[in-house]
Amino acid sequence: MAAKKKAVAKKQKTSVPGPLFDKILIANRGEIACRVIRSCKKLGIKTVAVYSEADADAQHVREADEAVFIGPPPSAQSYLMIDKIVEACRKTGAQAVHPGYGFLSEKQEFQKALAKAKIAFIGPDAHAIYAMGDKIESKKLAQKAGVSTVPGHLAAIPNADEAVKIAKKVGYPVMIKASAGGGGKGMRIAYNDAEAKEGFVSATNEAKSSFADDRVFIEKYVEEPRHIEIQLIADGHGNCVYLWERECSIQRRHQKVIEEAPSPFLDAKTRKAMGEQAVALAKAVKYKSAGTVEFIVDKNRKFYFLEMNTRLQVEHPVTELITGLDLVELMIKVAAGEKLPFQQKDVKLDGWAVEARVYAEDPFRNFLPSTGRLVKYREPTPGPDVRVDTGVYEGGEISMFYDPMIAKLCTHGKTRNEAIDRMRRALDEFYVRGVSHNVPFLAALMAHPRFRAGKLTTNFIAEEFQGGFTVAHLPPKDPAVLAAVAAVIERIRDERLGVTQDRRVVMLNRKPVELTVTGDEKLFGVDVAGREIAVETAWQPGDPLVHATVDGLHLVLQADIVGSGWRLTHEGGQAEALVLTPRQAELYALMPVKAAPDTSKFLLSPMPGLLASVAVSEGQEVKAGESLAVVEAMKMENVLRAVRDGTIKTLHAKAGDSLRVDQKIIEFA
């Protein structure tokens, strides 16, 4: 199979040459801009980056051959300014623009403006963007093309009362969706009239804020659904093929967290039917370039058209890993007028690939965005089966103005389990300090029995992590192994410093573990209460990663010096370890523990953002679950609710205020 994969890749590379571009401008930022630059360099094409004030020192600016400043940090004043992008092309002589994803990638006005300026758009033509970009119109076109669609009301809904009437007619549960939506924004599920009314208001507000288009529609919500999408590539000569599918069911708030290819759910018959329907839809709008047709699939493998994304997808690397194809390279060649260098029968499936989105967010605080400087940043060791797509670097900053993605981590294996196991180890190697990140959550997902069994739905996270993500969801740790590793690295450090102390007690999260360590150099024996643990490691002091073979099993732990001890991180979990002499352990046990301050009487801002509204007043009585305030961050509305009954004593902030993390908003009596 691997040989076939190489053959397809070679066929792509040696296709009939066309008039490729000399210089391409990337109308985007972050990891996708860096990703496009890589393919351009491979093709010998010069690149132009554009950047806002917030991105002056960004990685994509550093990697491009040229860079053009386009405005202030808000994307509406920079990355969404069509005239500035066109002017940057004129100024630099760029012959084509790759839009990446997001921003202007699905704006037909952008494609038209470039065409008028005689600049190639590396993507579909305006008519296809228009036809597929509007969720209402795209569903009508899908029906005409013979594509299976979800029942619903496809016209824009004028008000909340009408939304309730339509929801009742369609039948609960329903999904309220922004017509111009994407990325999980402007979407709400409603199970009753009250939720339909509230969902309509929230969805329209979010849609207007994110897309400057407040139209929403309603469709039947498919229960126990799986989100499976078909990757397409089409040229301007009538050729269109599908490059298998991606399973994107692991989502939080309708945003993808884990993607994989292929799907563990589809059989050959369903895969073929979905692929052929996707191609039929693409041909109906004379589509060219890379595109993705998304389907919702029920438990009986009955599938329904969801939407078509007329751009490159965030999760495209997993398709590249199982096909050996470079989608960005293909997009560039198609835009230059070349034919696809292969047919459907040439596309082979090699192994399995998994992608995890590493975000700057705090999973232990309801996934709130985290901004700030990457004080330390070290990626997993890259290789043929480990890939990291990123737009950040150590010392760089995660800005409050844009998506908080740090990187996309992808792994490949011959089987699904092999790809997952590689992902678990790669997550352990991902070393990030300075901002909170979701690696602990990703580690918990990879280890979850239901995920490993492939029993997925888009409700997976909501069902398996009810009440939020906590340390209890992390894979269990063997305290004896953690204590043994702590003792070994302390022993190695002592030897390098010429220190000889009889350290025989590890205070692991303040609990004593008695042990003895024998051996030196790289091979150690640790006796923990009569249990012999063999630890082999070439770790050197100063290295944040401890690669160790423990009783024959290879482990990777992150080791940070904290005071006189260590903070060990493994599979998302942390343990504080102090390696002490018996006398030191006796004295340590007498040390008092500082109690955390009581904040139970306050509603604190869980993130930096804008206080969009306050729904209560001083002296008002509130019930558990009642809405108290709305904080807007990263273009998402976050409703803060009362956790118990109470009375409002003092309002410490007002609508329109900018909030910092843990700033007081409301005080309860």
Q: What is the pLDDT of residue 135?
A: 76
Classify domain 479-588 by CATH number. 3.30.700.30
Task: Decide if 253 contacts 184 (C-beta within 8 A).
Answer: yes
Nearest to 55 by CA among 103, 120, 21: 103
Name which CATH class applies to 226-473.
alpha beta
| Tokens standing for residue 575 | 């343990």
Distance of CA 446 to the CA centre of its chain: 14
The full set of domain ranges for the chain reads 17-122, 151-220, 226-473, 479-588, 602-668
pLDDT along the chain (669 residues), means of 10: 42 47 98 98 97 97 98 95 98 98 95 97 96 85 92 88 94 90 80 95 88 88 91 97 98 93 97 97 97 94 94 98 98 97 96 98 89 94 95 94 94 98 98 96 98 96 93 94 97 91 92 94 94 97 97 96 96 96 91 82 87 93 91 78 91 92 91
Report which DSSP code applies to 76: G
Task: Decide if 508 contacts 486 (C-beta within 8 A).
Answer: yes
Could you please state the CATH topology (level 3) that the domain comprising 151-220 is classified under: Dna Ligase; domain 1 (3.30.1490)
3-state secondary structure 139-174: HHHHHHCCCCECCEECCCCCCHHHHHHHHHHHCCCE
Residue 610, beta-bridge partner list: 632, 658
Cα–Cα dist 223/7, whole Å: 41
Amino acid letter at 618? E
CA distances (Å), origin 109, targets 106, 290, 310: 9, 19, 14
Residues marked as catalytic: 307
Task: Decide if 145 contacts 240 (C-beta within 8 A).
Answer: no
Cα–Cα dist 635/613, whole Å: 15
CB neighbours of residue 638 within 10 Å? 19
Cα–Cα dist 57/616, whole Å: 42
Cα–Cα dist 208/195, whole Å: 20
| Tokens standing for residue 153 | 């009301």
Q: What is the pLDDT of residue 661?
A: 83
The phi-psi region of residue 44 (left if phi > 0; otherwise alpha if psi is between -120 and 50; otherwise beta) is left
- Write out the E strands in 212-351: 216-220, 226-234, 240-252, 255-261, 289-297, 303-309
Residue with tokens 């063999």: 534
Amino acid letter at 471? V
Sign of CA dihedral 160, 164, 169, 170: positive
Task: Decide if 204 contacts 210 (C-beta within 8 A).
Answer: no
DSSP H or E stretch at residue 432: strand 431-433
Coil, helix or strand for 347? coil
Q: What is the pLDDT of residue 595?
A: 79
Could you please state the CATH topology (level 3) that the domain comprising 602-668 is classified under: OB fold (Dihydrolipoamide Acetyltransferase, E2P) (2.40.50)
Could you please state the CATH topology (level 3) that the domain comprising 17-122 is classified under: Rossmann fold (3.40.50)
Nearest to 27 by CA among 102, 90, 124, 91: 102
